[in-house]
Structure formats: structure tokens, C-alpha cells
Amino acid sequence: MAKIKRTPAPPKDDKPEVKPAAAKKSAPPRQPPNRADKGDKVIGTALALCHEKLGQGAAAKYNAARLVNTLRWQTEKMYVQQLVQRSEYLAQAICQSPGSLVTALQDAANLGLSISPQLGLIYLIGQRPKDGLPLEVYAKVSYKGMEQAVLASGTVTSINTDLVYENDRFESGVTIDGPFMNYQRARGERGALEGAFCQAKYANGDKHIEWMPLKDIEACKAAATKAMGKVPPVWAGDFAPEQQKKCCVRRAAKHWPNSPVIERLIHNFDATNPMEFGDGSVLEGESIVLIGDAQIEEMRKCLPLLNDNEFSFWTEMAAKSRKYESVRDIPMARFEEVRDALMHRMELVQKNKQPPVEDPSK
């Protein structure tokens, strides 16, 4: 019987079998905070504050302030919601200073301008009154908004504003018949910017032509940059030409016939876009500060015998007799004059025992 040879098994290794170590599970990478979620939260909070602040009380204030009846509260309120959803910065301003939103809307209404983003006449912006203070909401007028507000007032009947480049044809001067201007845009390459002009025709037929050279426009930009610490967004990119025109219109307005609308516009510019050189002087020498709550309260104390309705009647008539739309349109420079006139009128009323509701402007 044949023997079967079996192959012996290889000798076992004395060392224990080492199993490969399991790979360590690394911690998932830390995800950066979702800025979109944070922005959505701020916008959501701002919208809730809008719903809270823009109630019946705000509607009454808006309707009382509006310059023209074509402005509709519900429509402007809808625009606010659209603007908040588009701008996280505006939403932050509403969250930090909710009451400033109502004031900004009143300012827009007082100029007769809609905040419609499609029209681009006046914008709601977030801005700090001073460094270190919370953001507040302001209504900032565009150069188109300024032109429309002035034209609607009837003080000026036509306004033409444009930028002039080196290849354009432009000349202006003064003859015995008044100022004249010839302007024609270049058809091809217009070259470098040389300046801006603003031509206005008044209701009485007179004209004014303002020429603003490039060096003055650059001075405006430098002053705004100094105030902000960096080049403001309105002076950069596609916005720059509009801001350059606005500077020219703003300076031209100093020469236009006096009007409460123009005074309110300049007051708006000083609040939203002051151009200070740092030496205490305002770039264009046009700062007009209007009286506020403190001055109205001082007049109230000077007329203690008047009830609320009588006080409103007296102060409004005093404003209108000086060609201002309301008492809040009176410049600070004329405050003492108006206050003293009201006090003198009160003395006459007490002396002659006249009814206090008589027209105090006489």
C-alpha cells in the first residue's frame, strides 16, 4: 500500500499577530458662522420693528408732514419693507435706532418725495451721527430728487445738469441779456472729466448757470473721505457720476430764490452728507440749521396763556408770514426774531384784552 507523504505546515511564528490599528476618526472641520443666517436674523428683527413702529401713530405723523397728497402711506410702508430686505446695513440701523425710521419717512414726506427704489429720488440709509454712536436711519436725497422737489415748489421751472469732458463742446459766460451757455456732447470718446454744470430757469424768467470745475468736485470728494475715514461708496464705481452732479446742484441751489423747500433740502444734505474740512468751515458755506423741539418748547414757555390749538395757530401763522411752510422750517438764525415777535404780540393781547386766536402775523 503506497504511503502518502503530507507536506508539513510551516512553523508558527512566536510573535503574536499584529492587527493594523484602526484609523483615527478626525473631527469634522469647524464650519464658519453662516453670515447669511445672521443677516436674515437682523432683517427679520428689523421687519418686526417696522411692523411695530409704522402703526397708526406713524401714519398720522407722515400724513401731516407730507408736502403733496399724492404720497400714500401704505405704498411707502411697502417700500420700506422692500428696502430692508435688500440692505442688511439699513436693517441694522433700524434695530439700533427704531425711532429714527419714522423721522426719516417724515423728512421724505416733507420734501414731497417717494422712497420708491425704482424712482431713485430719495434713499433710506443707515448712518452714524458721530463716531461711536448707534446707527440711525436717514432719508438721503439724490440729485434727481432735489431737482424734482425744487421744480414741484414752482420756485424754479427747469433744471439741466450734466458732466463735461474734455472732448465735449462747452462754453458759458454773461452778456447784457444775462448768462448764456452752449453745450454739446462729443459723439465718440469724451476724454477726461473737466467739471459739471447746472443750468436753472426761475419762475420770473431769470436764469442761473453754475460751473463747477474738476478741482472743486475733487475737493468735495476729499472732504467726504476725510469725514468718513475712507472713500464713501457713493463716490466709487458707477455711483460717482451721480454724486459729482449732486455736488454741482447743491452749490447752484445757494443762488436760487429763497424757498422753504430749498432750505429743507440743504438741511437734509447737511445732516446726511456734511462736507467739513476740519477747520470748522463747511465746504460750500451753505449750512442752514432749522429750529427743533428745544426751540419750540422755549416758545411754548414764552406763551403760557395759549392752549395747544392756539399755540399751533400762532406759530404756524408766524412761519407763513415769513414765507415758511411751517414753524419747523424756520432757520435757527431767525428763531429769536420769531420768538420775540410772538412775545410782543402776547403783550398786546394782554394789554388790549384781544382774543388770543387773532392772526399774530399782523
pLDDT by residue (tens digit) across 189-204? 999 999 999 999 998 8
For residue 353, the Cα-to-chain-centroid distance in whole angstroms is 48
The angle subtended at Cα 39 by Cα 48 and Cα 119, nearest 5°, is 70
Higher per-residue pLDDT: 134 or 360:
134
CA distance 42 to 91: 6
Let me know how long the chain is: 362
The whole-model pTM stands at: 0.57
* pLDDT value for 163: 96
- The side-by-side arrangement of strands in the sheet containing 193-202 is 156-165, 193-202, 207-213
* pLDDT value for 16: 54
Of 4-18, 59-73, 105-119, which gets the smallest average pLDDT? 4-18
Domain boundaries, the chain: 35-141, 144-256, 293-352
CA distance 123 to 242: 14
